Amino acid sequence: METEEQAKNRFQSELEFVQCLANPNYLNFLAQRGYFRDKPFVNYLKYLLYWKEPEYAKFLKYPHCLHMLELLQYEHFRKELVNAQCAKFIDEQQLLHWQHYARKRTRLQQALVEQQQQHAQHQPPHSNAVPK
Amino acid sequence: MAAAAEKSTKERLLSTLDDLEVLSRELIEMLALSRNQKLPPSGEDTQVLDLLVQRDSEFHALMGRAVEQGRLQEEMISLQKEMDKRDSDIQQLQKQLKEAEHILATAVYQAKEKLKSIEKARKGSISSEEIIKYAHRISASNAVCAPLNWVPGDPRRPYPTDLEMRSGMLGHMSNLPTNGVNGHLPGDSLAAGRLPDILMPQYPWQSSDVAMGMLPPHHGNEFGPGHNKENEDDVEAMSTDTSSSSSDSD
């Protein structure tokens, strides 16, 4: 049985580790070192699935790690991660996804600005016509 | 009613009619004969007459019986009709009952499904305040949405970067063996004891990503020798602890 202090430390280290799984470069690192071929390690990844429960998930700062953790349960994914191109592809896609909302928002803002500009452009001709 | 062994009324009527016919023919023959022969009639004609009268009364009785039987037969037919009507009513009701049962069964089933989903939703319910707080937390640190002024070259990422990893608790734990134990807990000494192969920080992605422009180039220079990030050992230590609990699920 572990003491409360040990339990606290274990909680924190598992929290940090599971979030590190959000980093595809780190996953590539682990794959190339052969950790994904190690059965105890694979069991550990399965054990880490408890972070999906809401009472644990609320501590996660980088939620992408949960998706990675789910994917890591599949052997095919673990095997693929040995390739650097795979890790690079995942990284690119992850970054693009990350930027998605920001880009959408800037697009909307631009559209709004353009609309306002058009509105402003239409005003002057009318104000000239009115006195007529 | 007439038993099966007895002759039917129709047969008896017909046989009585035959008898009557025979008797009356005999009587007429006797009378014709006696007129021709002028003999004193024997007692036969009285016998024949008696038989004739008897047969006649039998005939009348049988006719009465036939009329009665006809009446009963009509009654039977009307009762049968009534029975048929009742039968069809019952069948109609049976159909309606079956339909109603079917509808109710469907309704009950759907209600049960609804209850199940209500239960499921209730189980997963979280206060909206907590969700909003969490949403704030993950958005404020730009973990799920890129900062609006992000350009390629910005070191910020949706995952913990190497720097962050090394400055966390796991990163510090791995620094133990070279720095000596500095007040950390006994659990860490297990990690300290097994640090062999992770010391080579050759991260293969460093060279291949410079061309992309998405990853900041500083990844290539960050790692000095000696300190890797993790405690895959520590992890292994944990995994050996937990493999006993999780291996049974395999």
Q: Which two tokens stand for residue A78?
A: 């673990």
Of B124, B230, B246, Cβ closest to residue A46: B246
Whether residue B235 contacts residue A41, with contact meaning beta carbons closer than 8 Å, is answered with yes
A86 and chain B in contact, CB less than 8 A? no
Answer yes or no: do A43 and B242 touch at CB < 8 A. Answer: yes
pLDDT digits (tens, 9 = 90+) for A7-47: 998 999 999 999 999 999 999 999 999 999 999 999 999 99
- To the nearest whole angstrom, how far is the Cα of B223 from the nearest Cα of chain A? 13
pLDDT digits (tens, 9 = 90+) for B190-245: 344 333 334 333 333 333 333 333 333 333 333 333 334 444 444 433 333 333 33
Cα–Cα distance for residue pair B234/B172, rounded to 1 Å = 12
Of A16, A65, A98, Cβ closest to residue B170: A16
pLDDT at residue number B4: 47
pLDDT at residue number A73: 93
Ranges of chain B with pLDDT below 50 = 1-4, 177-250
Whether the full predicted model's pTM is greater than 0.95, yes or no, is no
* Alpha-carbon distance values, B149 to A102, A103, B152, B210 (Å): 9, 10, 10, 22
Q: Which two tokens stand for residue B81?
A: 């009709």
Query: Considering only CB atoms, which chain B residues are within 8 Å of A7?
Result: none
CB contacts < 8 A, A to B, total 147
Please write down the HEC assignment for all residues of A56-96. HHCCCCCCHHHHHHHHHCCHHHHHHCCCHHHHHHHHHHHHH
Cα–Cα distance for residue pair A14/B169, rounded to 1 Å = 10
Cβ-proximal residues to A66 (8 Å cutoff; 6+ apart), any chain: A51, A52, A57, A60
- To the nearest whole angstrom, how far is the Cα of B179 from the nearest Cα of chain A? 19
Whether residue B156 contacts residue B142, with contact meaning beta carbons closer than 8 Å, is answered with yes
pLDDT digits (tens, 9 = 90+) for A63-121: 899 999 999 999 999 999 999 999 999 999 999 988 888 888 889 999 999 999 999 88
A55 and chain B in contact, CB less than 8 A? no
Cα–Cα distance for residue pair A73/A103, rounded to 1 Å = 32
Alpha helix ranges (H) inside chain B:
9-37, 44-123, 128-140, 162-167, 169-174, 176-179, 186-193, 205-208, 232-246
A77 and chain B in contact, CB less than 8 A? no
Cα–Cα distance for residue pair B113/B116, rounded to 1 Å = 5
Q: Please, what is the angle between helix A4-20 and helix A64-72, to 10°?
A: 90
Query: Considering only CB atoms, which chain B residues are within 8 Å of A30?
Result: 232
B185 and chain A in contact, CB less than 8 A? yes
pLDDT at residue number B213: 32
- To the nearest whole angstrom, how far is the Cα of A125 from the nearest Cα of chain B? 37
pLDDT at residue number A44: 92
Answer yes or no: do A23 and B242 touch at CB < 8 A. Answer: no
